[in-house]
Amino acid sequence: MERFLQYLFDGLSIGSVYALLALGLVIIYRGTGHLNFAQGEMALFCTYVVYQLGEWGIPIGFALVIGVAVGFALGAVVEVTLVRPISKKSPFAVFIVTIGLFQGLNWLDGAIWGDQILPNSAVSKQANFPTLFPSKDTDFVTILGAAWRLKYLGVLVLVLVLTAVLFFVFNKTKLGLAMRAVASNPESAKLVGIRTNRVLMFSWGLAAAIGALGGVVFAGINNSVNLGLMFTVFIYSSAAATLGGFDSPGGAVIGGLAIGVIENMGAGYFPEWIGQELKLGVALFVIVVVLLVKPSGLFGTAKVERV
């Protein structure tokens, strides 16, 4: 029982990070109908910004607020300058643009902060990347013999609170309804007075802001940031959004937690088949199976088109 609970807690912990980034993917898709392949790298850029603010002596709370604001601005600017003009010519081209943005942001991060793991004692004033939650060796709770670190438990609580807020926004506010209307049919949305350009810009900004939060949290868990930090997390998050449904924030969270638990259970109970090295294969397997069996995801809405 203790072993099972430990794998469960570890899976929920890392799954919370997947859920955060998956929420960003869902917000963009729900608000615009597009998929953002650069979501992870946008989050990584904001994470580097928070690291730099920490180097300048700014407390993590203020640094996080600035980092999230930078993420929102970055997402909004990308939508206005790149996505909006290109999507009018070819919706598929948006996907290609986000791949280019992925490469460009990763290069920019390397050009500014280098390719080393930061904080680096040789060049940094910080010993570890700042974390939002208690991270000492003694900061954990024990449940039936299994330990759950407070910094991991804090991430899970953060995800659940954020999900509740987004559920309220999407279902109980004019902005949320406008985002759904624009994603479903932007032309009809314009006819009923919805300012589609503002909705699209806000959707990308909000998604990037949530991604920034996920990047900072994940860097805090790892105590460092580097150029490859978010690439694997993005794949897991894509699997989570695919499993839960790209138009369901709650589904993205459930999918992220499920992916985290499944990969940890598999690696723990079947080390000779999966182990720590092949955990990524679990996420890719989930993507393939869901796309074959239920392309809209477990909680997604299947689109019906008249012919």
pLDDT at position 307 over 50: no
Q: Is residue 305 over pLDDT 60? A: no
Residue showing tokens 């992870």: 40
Task: Using DSSP, state whether 210 is helix, strand or coil.
Answer: helix
pLDDT of residue 95 exceeding 90, the answer is no
Q: pLDDT (tens digit, 9 = 90+) per residue, 149-182?
A: 788 888 888 888 998 888 888 888 888 888 878 7
23-37, 64-78, 153-167: lowest mean pLDDT where? 23-37
Query: For residue 80, what is the DSSP state?
Result: I
184 vs 42, residue with greater confidence? 42
pLDDT of residue 271: 66
Mean pLDDT of the chain: 84
- Yes or no: say if 72 and 267 are a contact pair by the CB < 8 Å rule: no
Per the model's pLDDT, the better-predicted residue between 145 and 116 turns out to be 116
pLDDT attached to residue 66: 96
Assigned token pair, 262: 């499944």
pLDDT of residue 113: 93
- Position 278 scores a pLDDT of 65
pLDDT score at 302? 63
Nearest to 216 by CA among 16, 13, 67: 67
Q: What are the distances in angstroms from CA 58 to CA 48, 51, 55, 62, 125?
A: 14, 10, 7, 7, 12
76 pLDDT exceeds 80? yes
pLDDT digits (tens, 9 = 90+) for 105-120: 999 999 999 888 888 7
Residue 44 above 80 pLDDT?
Answer: yes
- Alpha helix (H) residue ranges in 140-278: 150-172, 174-184, 186-191, 196-222, 231-244, 249-269
Q: Is the confidence at residue 277, as pLDDT, over 80? A: no
Kindly report, residue by residue over 193-245, the tens digit of the pLDDT: 888 888 889 989 999 999 999 999 999 888 889 999 998 888 888 888 888 88
Averaged pLDDT for residues 126-140: 76
The kind and range of the H/E element at 30 are helix 2-32
| Predicted pLDDT of residue 31 | 74
Q: Given pLDDT bands bounded at 50, 70 and 90, which one contains residue 272?
A: low
Helix-, strand-, coil-residue percentages of the chain, each rounded to 5: 70, 5, 25
> Could you give the 3-state DSSP secondary structure of residue 44?
helix
Confidence check: pLDDT of 139 > 80: no
| pLDDT exceeds 90 at position 4 | no
Q: How many other C-beta atoms can be found within 10 angstroms of the C-beta atom of residue 181?
A: 18
Helix (H, G, I), strand (E, B) or coil at 225: strand
Share of the chain above pLDDT 70, in %: 93
